[in-house]
Each structure stands twice: as C-alpha cells, then as structure tokens.
Structure 1
Amino acid sequence: MELELQHKTVFITGSTSGIGFAMAEGFLKEGAHVFINGRTQNSVDNAIDKLKASVSNANVSGIAANFKDSNAIEIIQEAIPQIDILINNVGIFASKLFEETTDTDWHEMFQVNVMSSVQLSRFFLPKMIAQNWGRILFVSSECAQLVPADLIAYSTTKTALLSLSRGLAQTTKGTKVTVNSLLPGSTLTEGAVEFLKDQASKDGKTEAQVAENFFKTDRNSSLLQRFAQPKEIADMALFLSSPLSAATNGAAIKVDGGSVPGIL
C-alpha cells in the first residue's frame, strides 16, 4: 500500500531503539525525512548508522535530548522549527509497588511521559493547523487500561496521554490535522529481550519457556499469546500518520494483541 509519506518531515521521540526505531525505519522506507531522538549523542549516532545501513538513501537526522532535562524542549524547538508528523513515543517506567514508588519516580515519569508530549504538541500543533496538515500520535500502552500492580505510576501517565490526545483532537475540527493515540501491548523490544534472558537464567528455563509462561500468568488475557514485533506496532503508526487515515481523529487504537478485554 502506498502511504503517501514521501517528503513528509517526521520527529519521533525516544527512537534510538525499540518501537520508536522501528517507526523511524518504516518512515524512511516510505521516503520521509525522519528526525530521531535519544538521550545521548552516542545513542543517536549509533541509531543513525543502523538506519542508513538498513534503508538506502535514508534521509535521517538526529537530536540528542533527555526529557528529564528541562532544556530538552528548547533544544528540539531550535533544531526543528516545523514538522508534518509528531510521534510522542518516549517513555520511562519504574517497576515498583505503589507504596515503594517515590515522589521523584512520579515526577520523572510525568515529566518524560506526559509533559514532553504536552510541550512538543503545544509547539508543533499550531504550526500544523496553520499549514492545514499534520499528524500527532501519542504512544500510550495497554497498561493504560490493564494497570499492573507494579506499574501504577507508569499506567497513570499512559492514561493521561489518552485524555491529552482526545482533547487536542477536538481543537483540530475542520482542518486536515489529526491527533490519535496508540496502545501497544507487550512488545519484543530490546528491554523485553533482556528481561527474557535474565529470567531464563534465573529460572533455569529457555527464553521461549519464560515467554510462554508470561502469557499464561501476567498476560493471560492476550489473544495473540506472544510478544508483538516492534514493526507490527510501527506499521499501525505509519498508517495513522499517513494521508490515508484522514477519517481517523481523536481515536485510541489498540495494538495490544487483544490483551485488554471488552469491545471498546
């Protein structure tokens, strides 16, 4: 399918690995100009090298900015005055029970997961409306609805993104700008691979056995019954970012393998 993304300018936060990296690769293959982002210049440079090796004639640039730092937004605003597509993908989490999660944990997760999206959207959305075309996508999570006991703070931030996304979508009425959110399920990112390796070593099992057990216990509601590949999440993001998705606005799209029960 031709997604009509040639020459579109895309900025993806948290895109040196995982789902963000898969999105960057997908946009580059469609002929877009992609700005990736990571916390350090080294991580950005390494990701750019990988993308150029993967996609011939890749039009990719990078910006090192750590969203825990209050200066991160200013760095990005100076480097990229205008874009067509904003993917708010960056996210951090702390796997702790509620009583163990400190105020610092809460503040850092809100700053990175929510406020970075608020600040970037506040900067880029008016420009998109002025040019009468644009896409903003918030990468939420199945945890926004499942809310695991050790991820209450993280889940709260991901739920906040759903309200932010829907609210901003309502400001685009009558324009060719859309704002949507994406809810990925358990995905085989680099972090998930490390989790499987570590757990397999501790339990004396294979990684495949650990993964199978994860979906029998932690995610037994999953219909997919396996980790999604980052590209499977990225493919949906590319469609929602394309001109072909013009009729989808203010939506929260699940790409969770059916892990969240219900029909809505």
Structure 2
Amino acid sequence: MQGKQVLLTGGTGGLGLGVTPLVVRTGAKVTIPYRTEANVKRLKEVLSGTEFESIRLVQVNLMEESAIAQLIEDMSRVDVLVHLVGGFAMGRVEEYSTDDWHKDFNLNVHTTFLACKYCLQKMRANGYGRIITIGSRGAVQPAGQLGSYCATKAAVVALTKAIAEENKDLDITANSILPSVIDTPTNREAMGEDQADQWVKPQSIGEVVTLLGSEEAREIRGAAIPVYGVM
C-alpha cells in the first residue's frame, strides 16, 4: 500500500484505533473522516507525531450523502477504501423499536453504500481499487437478541459481494472481514471483561485489512473472511 491513497472511515473508533496505525505504517497516504475533536485526540494518542501529521483529517458526517460525496470528490483518487464505520445493538425482535431498526441500517448499511458508491466512481475511472468492509460473524451465524445487527451485517456482506461481481473485469476487488467480538473499550464496558482475552484484537483485523488493501490481494474477490479468535 506504499503511496496508495486510502480512505479510512471509522479510523478514530475503537476498531480504528487498532487498524489505523497499521495502515499508516504501510506508507499509504491516509484520509480519515471524523466527527469530534475528542475522536482526533484518541487517535493522536496511538500514533507517533510523524504518523499523525501524515494523516489528512476531515470533519464529515458520513450519514449525509452530499458530505461523503464531497469528501471523496476532494481526493485526487481513491486506491483503497477501508470502511470501519458501524455500530452494535441488542434486543429481541418483538421488543425492538422501528426507530432503532432504521438507525442500525443507516449506520451499518447506508454508510457502507455511500462510501462504496462514490469511491467506486473514482476507482472505475482509474481501473484500480481495493474495498474492505466490516461484516460480522453474526452475518453468517446469527444469534438471538442480535437480529437487527446481524441483518445489517449480512446486508454489508451481500453488498460487498455484489460489488466484487460488478467489477471483476477491472483490477478492483471488494471483500468483507467477519470478526467475532472485538476487544474494544466499548465492548468491555457493555459485556464485561471476563472473556476479553479471547476476543479478537483490533490489530489482528488490521493485519487482514493491510493484506486485502495490497496489490498482492488482487485474486481475492468477494470473500467474507472469518476472524474469530478462539470464541
């Protein structure tokens, strides 16, 4: 990924704080959208001064189509999209609110669609691209009280596979990573720390990201790669 233009969404979140340093250290030119200065502060804490200064940070609401369209338009090209934005919620189907259902799909699926849509326009113009999305183990092994979350992640995986099929005539790939529980501060707070040593480390997902974002991964298309740890 040396010298590649990378759009890394969610780079300041719990997963992103493990993935971003690995992407930056490949020598890629990384653009990271963010929402608040607090997010930027957390990112700064996990990077060296030189690494942090190498990143292009743009304050953007990724839920707004016009905003993400402008973000990508302002990039000279997009060689790699790493889309980490997403959220997790629980609840039984009969008790789950319709508003929360829509919120889950907007955050997990709508942002993926918009990021892929506008990055693909640039990638197809250049004949090159790598798209990496984050699904979930729940996309292929749904669990109780996770109906909405699993449905959104299944949609992300299906969308990614469709993109891979649509672009198989070009050097453009699209693949999903399927983590089990990720060891982030948010998950530790929500689920306790009793089994946290068995959860997937964000850095492990980062290793898969850097592989899929490389030129060497040109033959990997439409894959949904499990990263389950020992769970």
**Is the shorter-chain TM-score for this pair beyond 0.5, marking a shared fold?**
yes
**4+ aligned runs moved over 3 Å, structure 1:** 54-58, 66-72, 77-81
Partner of 1:235: 207
1:126, 1:56 → 2: CA distance?
29
Matched, 1:35 2:31: yes
SS of aligned partner of 2:106: helix
Q: Taking structure 1 as reference, are residues 50 and 57 closer, same or farther at Cα in structure 2, changes over 3 Å only?
A: closer
Moved more, 66-75 or 140-149: 66-75
Matched, 1:116 2:111: yes
2:176, 2:230 → 1: CA distance?
16
Query: AA paired with 2:13?
Result: S
Matched, 1:250 2:184: no
Partner of 2:8: 12
Partner of 1:148: 143
Query: What pairs up with 1:168-207 in 2 under 5 angstroms?
Result: 168-195=163-190, 199=192, 207=193
Partner of 2:195: 211
Structure 1 unaligned spans of 5+: 200-206, 213-224, 260-264
1:195, 1:54 → 2: CA distance?
32
Match of 2:154 among 123, 146, 159: 159
2:32, 2:52 → 1: CA distance?
16
Deviation string 1:183-210 (CA, Å, 9 cap, x unpaired) is 01111112123235xx4xxxxxxx4xx2
Shift of 1:97: 1.3
TM-score, scaled to structure 2: 0.90
2:176, 2:5 → 1: CA distance?
19
Q: Taking structure 1 as reference, are residues 167 and 232 closer, same or farther at Cα in structure 2, changes over 3 Å only?
A: same
Identity level (%): 29
1:132, 1:29 → 2: CA distance?
25
Superposition CA RMSD, Å: 2.2
Deviation string 1:89-126 (CA, Å, 9 cap, x unpaired) is 11122221112211111111111111111112111112
Structure 2 unaligned spans of 5+: none
The count of residues paired between Structure 1 and Structure 2 equals: 231
The answer (yes or no) to whether the contact 1:188–1:229 under 8 Å persists in 2 is: yes
Partner of 1:203: none
Query: AA paired with 2:135?
Result: S
